[in-house]
Amino acid sequence: MKIINLTPETKKNVLTNLLKRGVSQYPEHEKVVTEIIDNIKDFGDKALFEYTKKFDKCDITASTIKVTKEEIALAYRRIDPDFVAVMKRACANIVAFHEKQKRNSWFETKDDGSILGQRILPLDISGVYVPGGKAAYPASVLMNVIPAKVAGVMRIIVATPPDRNGEVYDGTLVACDIAGVDEIYKIGGAQAIAAMAFGTESVPKVDKITGPGNMYVTLAKKACFGHVSIDSLAGPSEILVLADEFANPRYIAADLLSQAEHDELASAILVTTSRELAEKVSAEVDNFVSELPRTEIINASLENYGYILVASDFDEAIELTNEIAAEHVEILTKAPFEIMPKIRHAGAIFLGEYSSEPLGDYFAGPNHIIPTNGTARFFSPLNVDDFTKKTSIIAYTKEALFNVHDDIELFAVKEGLTAHANAVKVRFSN
């Protein structure tokens, strides 16, 4: 891996390079996505089935688009039972964590009889996109579905592309069943996003779409936002390890590569104050890469977006960590809990050498759908609140309104909205 001394110039170059991975950097694909969305809106199932034939090489119809109970039962028979047991244990952890995020409606009555409050209700229907093929991740099913279930969403559907034989990955089907998905549709790509956003004869319109996908899926979510809510415009995976001279270089190298193997755009960064540690980590990375199977992907990721950055002191290292605002931040220092409060921008923070990033991906319980590409500065991990909506409640008595009507009328008049003022004034004109 590249070892770079941190200077104002090198920092600027790193930050600029990382931003190249954002979805906004690929406008040439937007025209294709817009055409797909328009066709789904205009022609519904007909266009959806044609795109599935074109992109997934699979013939589906209104009678075969939905996964049956028999297909789910077959998946259970074919899958490793130990894997099923692990998914169930992970599910329990994820449920327990998200249960703590639930909030209740509230109402407050004042002495003058006025009532203010906030009513919190779950969404009616949520849609989850689950990639297929080599990018099929059952863990992502659990992370997308469970917060919606905990929030009380009444109907949860999943869209996932079929293979050439019209089948869905067994792990996806079992994860959907464990998490409590209501319906699974054999559709993928931008066309699946459009189908859930606008509805077709076979696919219901949803209120929110969550879940990862390729560039076309992400651009489709971006284009459909406003017609439907979305989780975020997720970018490639990333990890930043903040370490001092006491850290284990072998652990750091392994954790960096756990993200670099995702795809060629993934980012793996070590920020440290120790040149000696930097050199040891670089050597360990080379050793691991020679042993791991996804060598081509890892090498491309490290070549383009992998860095070992040596800072002059820990204040500089922390400042850079906050500027990058990475999806996953590991703190591998002698006293990680002392550093943690200084990290203001991160999707998830992993403390200590036994809190490796994959713990969060699969099992600990916090959601692994986390803001990427610097958006941790203003976005949060997927959570129960994302599947609820809040309604304000206002009820004033005559006495309560009388006490403030002059203030309201003055405010309205100063804004030039005399009808607003009159709507209050008329109640006391006699």
- Residues noted as catalytic: 327-328
Radius of gyration of the chain (CA): 25
As a three-state string, the secondary structure of 197-216 is HHCCCCCCCCCEEECCCCHH
Residue closest to 326 by CA, chosen among 377, 262, 369: 377
Count of Cβ atoms closer than 10 Å to residue 117 Cβ? 14
Residue closest to 184 by CA, chosen among 175, 387, 59: 175
Long-range Cβ contacts of 400-409 (<8 Å, 24+ apart): 400/110, 400/112, 400/113, 400/114, 401/427, 402/428, 403/112
Could you give the CA distance from residue 116 to residue 422 in angstroms, rounded to a whole number? 23
Could you give the CA distance from residue 256 to residue 235 in angstroms, rounded to a whole number? 17
Sheet of strand 229-230: strand arrangement: 183-185, 155-159, 125-129, 208-210, 229-230
> Strand, coil or helix: what is 310?
strand
Could you give the CA distance from residue 24 to residue 88 in angstroms, rounded to a whole number? 37
